[in-house]
Chain A
């Protein structure tokens, strides 16, 4: 049976990962828990679309050019 009850978990993060989490928390005005919750949701959404055979792209706002996640 699935309930709304929350479970606690301990995370082991490197200094760089903790900093990234702190920075995102400040930028987004979210607690660190909320940031990680959003990350999980997004990750799951992406996985779901990838499993349907879709690809992940970003679109440049002005040029409308599509590129995969990172253009080097």
Chain B
């Protein structure tokens, strides 16, 4: 079961907003197509990065995420949802969230439920660390807004949490206004954990 909402992406080539679709409940076929398209684009881009001598520490760490597997593992469970943004018949971004099993860590919100963003990524051709000139902007903003709106609909008042990859930390901290709770000691890669209070969520949506 899937819902579609009209949204807009900024096409960086024309600097114009173009129509896109926000899908709540991405289907298996859509995931398969996205995974294929993204993998192909990643492989091409990694070859370019390598040729240009870009240090590996700056290579995209999410290029190996297997969205087919993520779908397979979560498809028949109520707590998980996959959302996507589609434009020009291609998936421009994907997000897997959990609406149960995760709780706030910010002291003032301790133990309250939140929407946990397990994974969020934009298509390789939209990522500034994969390509020199990304194609579409606003994919991430739409998906995070969707996570917050779901949180509000679930009575979690917009509380949202996620582990940011290093290259995205400044966006979550400064653009989204999330609270930086520092490297998570329980995470293998010690990724920084960010969380949004209801007030921060409302501010983001303003």
Contact = CB atoms under 8 A, between A and B. Distances in A.
Interface of A: 2-4, 27-31, 34, 38, 40-42, 44-45, 48
A40 B155 contact: no
Interface of B: 1, 3, 77-79, 99-101, 111-113, 154-155, 157
A4 B3 contact: yes
A40 B113 contact: no
A45 B77 contact: yes
Contact of A41 (B101, B111, B112, B155): B101
B78 A44 contact: yes
A34 B113 CA distance: 11
Given A4-B1, A28-B113, 10 more contacts: A3-B1, A4-B3, A29-B157, A40-B78, A41-B77, A41-B78, A41-B79, A41-B99, A42-B79, A44-B79
Contacts of B111: 27-28
A45 B157 CA distance: 23
Contact of A44 (B77, B154, B155, B157): B77
A23 to B, nearest CB: 13
A29 B77 CA distance: 24
Contacts of B78: 40-41, 44
Contacts of A48: 77
A42 B101 contact: yes
A45 B76 CA distance: 10
A28 B111 CA distance: 8
